[in-house]
Amino acid sequence: MFITHPQENNKVAIIIPTGDVNDAIKDVPAGVEYKIVESLDIDNDYFDAYDFDAEAGAVVNIAKAKEVHYNKFRTARAPKLQKLDIDFMKAVETGDTAKQAEIAAQKQALRDVTKIELPDDFAGIKATWPDILN
């Protein structure tokens, strides 16, 4: 059994009772709506994408899931951009303008991954991964 309730930051809180669920209700802030559920299917990699739901306990907010996924893109591209920054500086030092232009295009392609239109379903969002980030 789990207890879910909304938090002030618009995220869902999940209380996992160690004993009787009724004893754990005291951990819900006073005056806050809550839901006791038998089970929750929560993807912890997307925990910030869930909203409190009075019927289900927690549901995926697609807009939040997209933002979480875009942040995964950002994390994956960071080391690639760092490497390209070094390669670019080497090209500047050698005066290789063709290489500089090539690297600049690669960097822009990496920046553009957050402009990819993600699907409007959770499974589709999670399945979307640009080849450039591999």
For tokens 């929750």, what's the residue?
40
The band of 60, judged by pLDDT with boundaries at 50, 70 and 90, is: very high
Query: What is the percent of the chain where pLDDT is above 70?
Result: 100
The structure's pTM equals 0.85
Closest CA to 130 of 77, 68, 82: 77
The rounded distance, in Å, linking the Cα atoms of 115 and 125 is 13
Q: What is the pLDDT of residue 100?
A: 97
The rounded distance, in Å, linking the Cα atoms of 39 and 5 is 14
The band of 37, judged by pLDDT with boundaries at 50, 70 and 90, is: very high
- Is the model's pLDDT at 4 over the cut of 90? yes
Query: How much is the average pLDDT of 84-95?
Result: 97
The rounded distance, in Å, linking the Cα atoms of 21 and 129 is 40
